[in-house]
Copies of this chain bind each other. A is one copy, B any other.
Amino acid sequence: MLEHFKVPADIAVKVPVDRLRAATEAVFQKCGVPQKEAELATDVLMFADQHGIDTHGVSNMLRSYVSQYNTGALNPDPTMSIVKETASTALVDGGGGLGLMTAPKAMEIAIEKARESGTGVVSIRNSGHLGAAGYHALMAADQDMIGWCMTAGGNSMMPTFGAEPKLGTNPIAFAAPADEEPPFMFDAAMTSIAGNKIGLASRLGRPLGPGWVANEDGSPNMDGGAASNFAANSLRTQLPLGSTRELGSHKGYSLGVMVEILCGQLSFAPGFADQTLRRRAHFVAAYSIDAFGDVDEFKRNMDGMLKGLRDTKPIPGHDQVYYAGLPEHFEGIKRGKEGVPLHPEVIDWFRSISAEFEIPFDLT
C-alpha cells in the first residue's frame, strides 16, 4: 500500500534533509514569512518529508502554500489571538496565517494549560492548512502528555447514503509517549484514504482502489480502476472510512462529523453551520499524564502494550505487525541518513521558484 504512493526508486532524487530544509525556509521567507515562523513551518513540513508522509511534506504542499501567499489568501505575518479562555480551554483566532505555524502555537497553549490544570483543549479558527496533524499531536507526547490534533474543512467526504459531499476528509491525530519504544502516533483522514493520496495516485498514473470514491450516482465504488475513469472531481466524492454501510461507513462518516464539531463548531468558525466549501478550522488538546499518575510507570506500561502489538503473530504473507508511528519512526532514521526521495518534477519546481525568488538553488 505505502509503495503505491512512493516516487519510483529509479527516478527519485535523494535530497539531504538539511538542504531541503534550507531551501524550504528560503521559499517561506521570500513569501514574506518572518524567519522564526519560516523555521517553524519548515520543521512541520520536513517532519512529514523525513518520516515518509510524502502527501503532507514539501513536495506535495509547498507550491500550494506559495500560491496562497501570492494571491493574498494567506497572511504571511498574522497576529494570532486568544478570543476566549478558561483554565483548561482556549478559542484561538489564527489571524489568517498558515496552520503550519498556528497549530504548534495553539498546542503550546494547550500544553501550558495542561501543565497548570491537567488538560488543555484549544479550538482554532481563521487558519490555513496545518500539514501533518501528527506533528502537533507529537508535541504533547514529547512533553509527557497525550496529544490530539484534528482539522476540518472543505467538502470531500460523502455521508453514508449521500450523493454529494458534505464533510472534509477530517483527519484525527493522536499521540502518546512510551519509554524505549517509539511513541504511538496515529494520523489519518476519516475518509477511507487521504485526499492527497488520491491526487498523488492520479498524478503518478496509479489506479484508484476499491472503496475509495463514489460512482457517478454517488453510490460507493467497490471495484476501483484507472483514475481517468472516475469523475475529474474524485477528490470531492470520497467515501468515509468503512466505504459501505455494511462495512461500517457510518462510523467513518460520524467520526468526520465529530471532527467538524470539535474544530469548526467549537471555534465558531464561519462556514461550519452551512458547510461552505472554503471553511477550515482545527482542534488540538493535551492531557497531562502526570495529572493521572506516575509518568515513568505509564511509559513502561505503554512499552509493554506496544511491544505486544509488534509481537502479534502475523498473517500469511506478512512479516510483522506494526503500530501507528512505528513505520514512520524507521523511515525517519533511514531518510535522515539517505535523504528525502523527491520526484524530478519537484526538483524542477524548486529550480524555477529559486530563479523567480532569486535565491540560490543547491538541492542537487
Instruction: Known A164-B313, A254-B186, A304-B273; judge A1-B245 contact (CB<8 A).
Output: yes
* A344 / chain B contacts, CB cutoff of 8 Å: none
Specify the chain B residue showing the minimal Cβ separation from A302: B265
Q: How many residues of A contact B (CB 8 A)?
A: 93
A273 touches B301 (CB 8 A): yes
CB distance from A109 to the nearest CB of B (A): 12
Is A355 part of the binding interface, using a Cβ–Cβ cutoff of 8 Å? no
Q: Which stretch, A59-67, A70-78, A84-92, touches the partner chain B?
A: A84-92
* A291 / chain B contacts, CB cutoff of 8 Å: 84-86, 88-89
Is A274 part of the binding interface, using a Cβ–Cβ cutoff of 8 Å? yes
Instruction: Known A265-B176, A292-B266; judge A163-B312 contact (CB<8 A).
Output: yes
Alpha-carbon distance between A246 and B247 when the two chains are bound, in angstroms = 13
Alpha-carbon distance between A293 and B312 when the two chains are bound, in angstroms = 46
Alpha-carbon distance between A266 and B266 when the two chains are bound, in angstroms = 25
Is A111 part of the binding interface, using a Cβ–Cβ cutoff of 8 Å? no
Is A13 part of the binding interface, using a Cβ–Cβ cutoff of 8 Å? no
Is A262 part of the binding interface, using a Cβ–Cβ cutoff of 8 Å? yes
Can you name 7 A-B residue pairings with CB atoms under 8 Å?
A166-B308, A176-B265, A241-B248, A241-B251, A248-B252, A266-B298, A267-B292
Q: A-side interface residues toward B, CB under 8 Å?
A: 1, 83-89, 91, 116-119, 121, 123, 146, 159-164, 166, 172, 174, 176, 184, 186, 188, 190, 192-193, 209-211, 214, 217-219, 241-243, 245-248, 250-252, 254-255, 257-258, 260-262, 265-268, 272-275, 287-289, 291-294, 297-298, 300-305, 308-309, 312-318, 320-324
